[in-house]
């Protein structure tokens, strides 16, 4: 499942990853934190170039599926205004073995931040800043 949404539904993510052949389901949930570099964050705003983002997300999921011998993959990213504590991204993998599922989620979130056209604006008390998701 590859989606860009306004709000993330973890039950939907879980159902999309379930598989009777899976010995493991790994879910990474990225949330909005309340501070960046010592400054209090009031909210974030995410924007995406949907068509290209979905295409890149699908390529990434397909690559992970082959590389880690996965049964199912999942990438869901939220857009719009998000407050501290809100979910913004869910990455998931189901596999016969836990090491593959867990390694795949790390691989997918790292690559997503490098390659997928999704942008984040941070809102602080006295400023707003567009930031790169790249590490």
User: In this predicted model, what pLDDT tens digit does every residue of 79-131 receive, in sequence order?
Assistant: 999 999 999 999 999 999 999 999 999 999 999 999 999 999 999 988 888 88
User: In this predicted model, what pLDDT tens digit does every residue of 36-75 receive, in sequence order?
Assistant: 888 899 999 999 999 999 999 999 999 999 999 999 999 9
Tell me which long-range contacts 5-9 makes (C-beta under 8 A, separation of at least 24): 5/76, 5/77, 5/78, 5/79, 6/78, 6/79, 6/80, 7/78, 7/87, 8/76, 8/78, 8/87, 8/88, 8/89, 8/90
């Amino acid at each position: 499942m590859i989606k860009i949404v306004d709000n993330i539904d973890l039950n939907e993510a879980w159902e999309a990853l379930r598989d009777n052949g899976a010995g493991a389901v790994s879910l990474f949930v990225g949330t909005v934190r309340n501070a960046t570099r010592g400054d209090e964050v009031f909210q974030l705003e995410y924007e995406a170039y949907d068509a290209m983002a979905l295409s890149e997300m699908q390529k990434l999921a397909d690559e992970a599926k082959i590389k880690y011998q996965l049964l199912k993959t999942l990438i869901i990213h939220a857009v719009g205004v998000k407050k501290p504590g809100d979910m913004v991204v869910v990455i998931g993998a189901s596999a016969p073995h836990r090491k593959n599922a867990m390694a795949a989620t790390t691989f997918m979130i790292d690559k997503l931040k490098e390659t997928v056209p999704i942008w984040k604006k941070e809102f602080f008390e006295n400023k707003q800043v567009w930031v790169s998701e790249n590490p």
